[in-house]
Amino acid sequence: MTTYVITVPGTFLRAVPHGLRSGIERRLRPSDPRNTDLGENEELSLLTVDEGGMFAARVEVDAADSTGAEAEAVRVVARALRDSGLSEQDAPLGEAIVTGIDSDL
């Protein structure tokens, strides 16, 4: 298994209060990329949101390959959004991308 840092972009289609953002971050915290050397060195934020509602969630996942890592990251972010009360229509996600690989190889 390899540890990947994956960025999952999305857009909040309605205003998201600060308290809701904090709840999303709390749910994502177990997957915080700062647990990796890359995340710590690059000071990656778990969740960034711009004024237009576009956001990027950066999570750490373990997977056998990048395709599996991207799919798992989307599941993690989608679950955090859903558990925070946002539907797929409220916050659609874009294509996940590999931000970094933290491997002992």
CA–CA dist 73, 31 (Å, integer):
9
CA distances from 40 to 29, 44, 62, 83, 94 (A): 14, 7, 17, 27, 25
Whether the Cβ atoms of residue 21 and residue 85 lie closer than 8 Å to each other: no
Per-residue pLDDT tens over the stretch 79-92 = 999 999 999 999 99
The number of beta carbons lying within 10 Å of the beta carbon of residue 77 is 28
CA distances from 12 to 19, 33, 71, 90 (A): 14, 22, 20, 6
- The model's pTM is 0.88
pLDDT at site 105: 47
The number of beta carbons lying within 10 Å of the beta carbon of residue 65 is 11
Per-residue pLDDT tens over the stretch 14-50 = 888 888 999 999 999 988 776 665 555 556 788 999 9
Three-state secondary structure call for residue 92? coil
